Structure 1
Amino acid sequence: MKFDYQRKVALLNKQKKHGANPETLEKIKAAVSHLHTRYIVDMQAMDATVSEINHLRDEQLHPKLVALVDAMGTMWDAMQVCHENQYKIALALKALDVSQSVKETADYHHERTIQLWGVVQEWHTQFEKMVNYQREYIRALNSWLKLNLIPIESSLKEKVSSPPEAENPRIRALLLSWHDHLEKLPDEHTKSAIHNFAAVLHTIVEQQQDELKLRAKVEESRRDL
C-alpha cells in the first residue's frame, strides 16, 4: 500500500512537470487520494492493533511472568530446604554404627536400589528438560519482544493519531535479567553430579546382582549335597 501510494505520487508529480492534460491529472489525483485514505485507515487499524498488543504485554503478560518468577523462587526455596534436610539425614546415617547390621544383600535391598537408581535417572532427565525448556521459553519471549519494540516506519506516521511507543517496557528488564540468570546457571555441574550419583547406584545394582546370583548358586549347591 505504501509503495503504491508513493508510486502514484511520483507519477502525479511527473505528469505535472510534463504538463499532462487536466483529465489525466484528475484521474491520478483521485487514485492518490484513494490510496492516501486507505493508507491512513490501515495505519490507524495497525496503531490500534499495536496498542492492544502492548496493553496485553504490559497489563497481562508482565504480571503473569512476575507471578511465575515469584512462584519459582518459592519452589526453589522449598527445594533447598528439602535438600538441606536430606543432607543432614545422610550425615546422620553416615555416623551410624553398621558393624552389627546384616551385610548380605536381600532381594528387597536390591529392589529398592533399582528403584532409587530409576528415580535418580528420571531426576536427571527432568532437570535437564526443565532448564532447557525454560531457556527456550525466555529466548522466544526475548525474540518476540525485540520484534514488538521495532517502531513502525511510515512517511505518513506523523499525520496519524498514534499511541506513544513504550521503548523500554517493564517486561524488558524482567526478561533480560531472567535470561542472564539462566545463562549463568551452573546446571552442567548439577547435571554431572546427578549423573555421577546414578552411575554409582548402577554400579551398586550390578554388584548386588552378582551377589544374588552367587548366593543362588551356593544355595543350589547346598541342596545338591
Structure 2
Amino acid sequence: MAIMWEAMYSHHNYQHKLVTALRAFNVSFATWETSEQHHDITIQLWQVVRDWHSKFQGYVTHQKAYVQALNSWLKLNLVPFENNSLKERGSSPPRPVKPPIRDLLHYWHEQLEKLPDAIASRAIYCFSEVVSTILILQEDELKLKEKCEETRSEFIRKKRAYEDWHHKYMERRMASTSAQGTDQDHEKAADHKDHAEVRKHFVESIKMRLKSEEEEYQRICRQVRDKSIGSFKNHLPEVFSALSNFSLACSDMYKQLSLITQKPALTGQSPSR
C-alpha cells in the first residue's frame, strides 16, 4: 500500500505541475464556439468527476469503518481470563491482555483521522460543480445558436420570397407602363409599391433581429470560453494539490504501519541480543 500511494503521489504531483503551468499558456487561439461534440465531452467529464468524488468518499469511509470495526472487535473479544480458584484464594487479578496488534490498530485509526481527506474530497466536489456550471453555460450557448440558425433560415426564406414577388411585380409594372395603362392601373401600381415597401420592411426587420441574435451569440461564446478556461486554470491545480497531499500522507501512514508490523512482538520473533 505504501508503494501504491507513493506512486499515486508521484503521478498527482506531476499532474499538479502540468495544470499549474497551464495558467501561463496562451489560449487565445482556442475555438470560440461550443460544438455538440465538445458539449458531449463536457458531460462525460462531469459524470466522471462526480463518480470520482463518490468513489473517493466511499474509499475513505469504508477504510475508517473497517479499522473501527477491528478496534471494536478487539475490545469486545480480548477479555482477561480470570481463574475462579485463584480469585477465591484472593490472588491478585491477572494483568490486562495487550496483544501486539492493538498498537497497530490504534495507530492506524489515529492516522486515518489525521488524513487530509476532507480537503481532497472538497476539491473534487468543487471541481464537479465548476464543470456543472460550464455545462449550463454551454447549453445556453447551444440554444442561442439554434435560435440564430432558425432566424437565419427564416430570413433567407422571407428574403427569397420577397425577391421572387418583387421580380414578378416589376415585370407586371414594366408591361403595364409600356401599354400606357389607365389611371386605375396607376393606382394599382401605387398600391403595389406600398405593399412592396411593407414586405421589404418586414424582411429588413428579420435581418436586424438576426444581427442582434448573432451579436448576443458571439458574446455568449466568449463568456463561455473565458469561464471554462478560467475555471480549469484555477480549480485543477487545487484538485491535484489536494490529491498530492492526501497521497503523500497515505504513503507515510502505510510506511509507518509497515514498520510497526516488523516489530518482534508482531512477527513472533524474539528480539536479538
After TM superposition, the score normalised by the length of structure 1 is 0.61
The one-letter code sitting in structure 2 at the alignment partner of 1:91 is T
Q: Which of 115, 128, 131 is matched with 1:185 structurally?
A: 115
The alignment status of 1:220 with 2:154, answered yes or no, reads no
**Structure 2: how far apart are the matches of 1:174 and 1:116?**
40
Task: Measure how far apart 1:198 and its partner are.
Answer: 0.7
For the pair shown, which has the larger CA radius of gyration, 1 or 2?
Answer: 2
User: Do the aligned residues in 1 keep the contact of 2:80 with 2:96 (CA within 8 Å)?
Assistant: no
* 1:78-117 correspondence runs (5 A): 78-117=7-46
> Structure 1 residues 90, 79: CA separation in 2 closer, same or farther (over 3 Å shift)?
same
Aligned to 2:264: none
Q: Which of 153, 172, 175 is matched with 2:105 structurally?
A: 175
Aligned to 1:20: none
**Structure 2: how far apart are the matches of 1:204 and 1:89?**
22
**Structure 2: how far apart are the matches of 1:207 and 1:145?**
54
Count of matched residue positions in the alignment of Structure 1 and Structure 2? 149
The one-letter code sitting in structure 2 at the alignment partner of 1:113 is T
What stretches of structure 2 of length at least 5 have no aligned partner?
88-93, 156-273
String of CA shifts for 1:140-159, please: whole Å, max 9, x gaps: 1011112232112231479x
**Structure 1: how far apart are the matches of 2:147 and 2:86?**
88
Question: RMSD in angstroms over aligned alpha carbons?
Answer: 2.1
**Structure 1: how far apart are the matches of 2:68 and 2:20?**
40
**4+ runs of 1 displaced by more than 6 Å?**
none
**Structure 2: how far apart are the matches of 1:206 and 1:157?**
76
**Structure 2: how far apart are the matches of 1:82 and 1:170?**
35
**Structure 1: how far apart are the matches of 2:51 and 2:122?**
14
Aligned to 1:205: 135
**Structure 2: how far apart are the matches of 1:209 and 1:186?**
35
Aligned to 1:77: 6
Aligned to 1:38: none
Task: Measure how far apart 1:211 and its partner are.
Answer: 0.5
Q: Which of 111, 119, 125 is matched with 1:195 structurally?
A: 125
Task: Measure how far apart 1:204 and its partner are.
Answer: 0.3
Highest relative contact order (Cα 8 Å, sep 6+), 1 or 2? 2
> Structure 1 residues 193, 150: CA separation in 2 closer, same or farther (over 3 Å shift)?
same
The one-letter code sitting in structure 1 at the alignment partner of 2:45 is L
The one-letter code sitting in structure 2 at the alignment partner of 1:205 is L
String of CA shifts for 1:114-133, please: whole Å, max 9, x gaps: 11111111111111111111
What stretches of structure 1 of length at least 5 have no aligned partner?
1-70, 159-163
The one-letter code sitting in structure 2 at the alignment partner of 1:104 is E
Aligned to 1:137: 66
**Structure 2: how far apart are the matches of 1:223 and 1:213?**
15
